Amino acid sequence: MIKPHGSDELNPLFVYDNELRHALLAEAETLPSLLLNSAAAANAVMLGGGYFNPLSGYMNLADALSVAEKMHTVDSLFFPVPILNRTSETGVAAGSRIALRDPNVEGHPVLAVMDVEAVESISDAQNAFMAEKIFRTLDPEHPGVATFNSLGDTLLSGPIQVLNFSYFQTDFPDTFRTAVEIRNEIAEHGWEKVVAFQTRNPMHRAHEELCRMAMEQLDADGILIHMLLGKLKPGDIPADVRDASIRKMVEVYFPPNTVMVTGYGFDMLYAGPREAVLHAVFRQNCGCTHLIVGRDHAGVGDYYGGFDAQTIFDEEVPADALELEIFKADHTAYSKKLNKVVMMRDVPDHTKDDFVLLSGTAVREMLGKGIAPPPEFSRPEVAKILSDYYQSLDS
């Protein structure tokens, strides 16, 4: 199986030893507490699950600035975005041991224990520098920039021991999986070549066929459909609805034992190209050999060019940085001429009128009225689940 990023073995920060975990939970009740923001909590969950291998905890300011600028730490570890614990609290001292509490679960249970190696202040100029490098914009209307600017100017760095997976394991027991669990399941399947498909949205016909195209062209053993389960921007479809629609599509339209439907506990960054590279890093940690990167991958609005998330791998990611490879996809749509879904770049003789193209707004309006989109755009079984959701919003 493909190696994890940056090490020979995966090193999840979750404490799997039950006795030690219970001892740490008891110790945590005696420690000073810090209530995390959602971004820092999501980072802890990802560190716990092995997704951010080989990191041992939160980055310090020097590493954060280096990663933002050059996509590697001061010690030359390739990493595409800073993994931070930012706060507005100023009462934490370097050298202390603290309990990190979960902002997303009632009662704020302990999520992790942290050994604080450094407490540093982020200046406005340093914050702006990182935001511009990560998001390619400083526009406060960009949802990722808005969140990044709100996280606090005190930076706590150091190793952590993760004690639970927040709400993801309880709210999504059939879907949430750690990188450790995904690697184990890939090994059980005997898969060697595995293609990952990233999604924060339901999957329509074009997405379904894109997975099938990648699997066939790469002669892959299986597909990992890997959905984000954390916080999104207003208006995005909730994770449970996406989960149900994707599972129905796989159940009806894919051969048995060719697709794993899973999810990961992270908040969307909307960082376009940089987030695409982060997706590649943690899919390699999952054991995937390829990642589908399509048009406007992890983008939002008009902040990124349609294929910036592909060109970053050619122009900015060192050739030896990752073992995982990228499957570059064009926009896919149903061709009326050929009666099948195609990549637009493969049919230069087509005009816009030769495709079944619907805007997201038009699809939402149709579903909200109980009108199914054409079957060339969305499978009827998927459309039914989405229609029920949109109609429930108006009831």
* Residues that are catalytic: 200-201
Query: Mapping DSSP to helix (H, G, I), strand (E, B) and coil, where does residue 262 land?
Result: strand
Rounded Cα distance, 138 and 341, in Å? 37
Phi, psi of 174 (to 5 degrees): -90, -10
Residue type for position 306? G
Which run of H or of E encompasses 155? strand 154-162
Query: What ranges in the chain are assigned the alpha helix state H?
Result: 18-28, 38-48, 61-70, 124-135, 143-149, 168-171, 179-189, 205-218, 239-253, 273-286, 308-315, 360-368, 380-394
The residue behind tokens 């190209």 is: 273
Residue 328 C-alpha from the chain's centroid: 18
Look at residue 95 and give its three-state secondary structure: coil
**Cβ atoms of residues 207 and 191 within 8 Å:** no
Which residues, in sequence order, are bridge partners of residue 250? none
